[in-house]
Structure 1
Amino acid sequence: MRLKPEQLATQLKRPLPPVLLLSGDEPLQMLECADLVRAQARTQGFSERIRLETQAHFDWNRLADEGANRSLFGDRRLFDLHLHSSAIGNEGSKALSAWCEQPPEDSLLLINAPRIDKKQLTTKWLKAVDRVGILLQIWPVEARQLPAWLEQRMRGHGLQPQPGVAALLAERVEGNLLAAKQEIDKLLLLHGPGPISQEALLEAVADSARYDVFGLMDETLAGHPSRCVHILAGLRGEGVAEPVVLWAISRELRGLYPMAQQVAQGGNLNTVANGAWPPKRKPLVSAALKRLGPQRLQQALIRCGEVDACIKGWRKQDPWLMLERLCLNLCR
């Protein structure tokens, strides 16, 4: 069965199927949908949770072995499987297909996967999941849909945004739903439930402008290392989540990389930089393109993947230290 995110809560009120798959690259919606499944699983008696990560050289026999083992206290078990890639190979496909063919008794398999494309939906294991369980694909909220999405979320938290507030917030967060969540939480903390005006939103935004992730990127593009270190320390002190900072950096790098390739292939720097939006950022983009070539930007994107691994606990390094090193390297 295929569902949309907004259908999940209603579906979960029924007895849970043996397998649920959540797929997508949007971190906030993935996290909230997974939390919703786990909470409902607890209410239906799945009191034991077993987390599995398919890192490099993962032994897929482990999934079958864990499923075959009975719970020590006879509890119903939730298997929380996190796929490092949606391309799981023959062994992974066989293991998940076998699970779907004969799910272990009193067990629920929750699969968290990166975005799955149309071609992958035709694979045997995904067809098996679709047949016996729930398959939910989560897509990023499009720019034109974001104001309505934000207004609905604000109203769901007891806020009553006046006309223009949701659009102003959408411009502020630029598609980053984690940042949007933080802004809404902050508005609720500052003003409580009730009407929210544009002035109140702007005032709340101004309060956090000192340590803003977008300000961090401007200082990084301009090549100001001391300012980057200062802003990162402020973001950490204010409790900004590491994925929000990483999202801002990787988003900027993904935009710069094709520009740097054009310049390396003989493109005119000013012409290429004109593609930067908004226009006031053109000097920053030009400065960065002069300093950073495609090879360094590609290496920086690889470093973003390493920071992501640190945030998820796959590598034993401090994510904030890794973020600082990444920004300082881009300032050189």
Structure 2
Amino acid sequence: MTLSQLRTFALVAKLGSLHAAAAALGVSEPAVSTAIAALRQDLGDPLFVRAHGGIALTAGGRALANYAQEIIGLADRARWEVSHASTDTGRLRIVATAPFAEHAAGRLLDLFTKRVPGVSVDVVVESAADIASLLLERAYDIALGARPAETVATVAGRELEMIPFLRYQRVFVVAATNPLAGLHGPVALAQLLDRPWFAGPSGIQEHSDEGRWLASTGVAPEIIRLSSETDALAAVRAGEGTMLAIGHIVRAELQSGALVRVPVVGTPVSGLWWVTTLDRRRTTTTARTLQRFVTTADATAAMIAPGGSRGLERRGSKIHVALWS
């Protein structure tokens, strides 16, 4: 069985005709027949029979057609990567969910590009609901942040590899001067509904851990979305309302008393950030390198360190991350 034979068979199966496959390949029809005959002999299956002026695949032919398309796709991808190895081996297209992009992407990727010289990264923020399909379409090489939407990930479970790499917690915070700062726990979530809730540009996404927690409470607050969680936190700091903030981001201000945690029932809300790639047969070497790196102690230390990237730039319908170095 050769790649040329599989490519020929895949076209016959797709076009439903030896003549059409020969024309598409730019070869003679006898050449197509010879390739199919070799496959039939190798696999011990007729693969298809003639029917109604075309062909009808056997059960074995349908199975081979699926494998043939997959193998050809892998071969084309390998050929492309080899041909671009000298100029594109370090290019990494990253899709991230907004909170991870804002609070951790800059520090993580700054360290990664220092450890792996020559790597060029581009980060685009998308919803967790779209991550799985974007990876499967090869629009991006790797995803960082919230786990892809489970309804999609379940269907694509054999094609995506998802690894948790950083646990975080979210807590409700207010300014020390805010009346909510005087509440003692446990505080019912409903007690916060008459106060403004702030969030970053993505709000509280339903496919995030905090989104699932909020849905479980049955409460649907009106959330004011600002250009970043940093801006949302500034509004909270000014006494304008509350937000569900990442614990390690506000730790210093909680310790100093500038911010106060509201002890809402069910909080802190625990979450996980995930690294997601196509499975190992399909993903790129550079994506695998980042996948391994994000699980290291050095990467964790970088992501939870104070300071870092805060720039989210909107370009059309997408948000890009302004990385720092």
Q: Name the TM-score class by shorter chain.
A: under 0.3
Which structure has more strand as a fraction of its residues?
2
TM-score, scaled relative to structure 2 = 0.26
Which structure has more helix as a fraction of its residues?
1
TM-score, scaled relative to structure 1 = 0.26
Say which one has the larger Rg. Answer: 2
Q: Whose relative contact order is higher, 1 or 2, with alpha carbons under 8 Å and at least 6 apart? A: 2
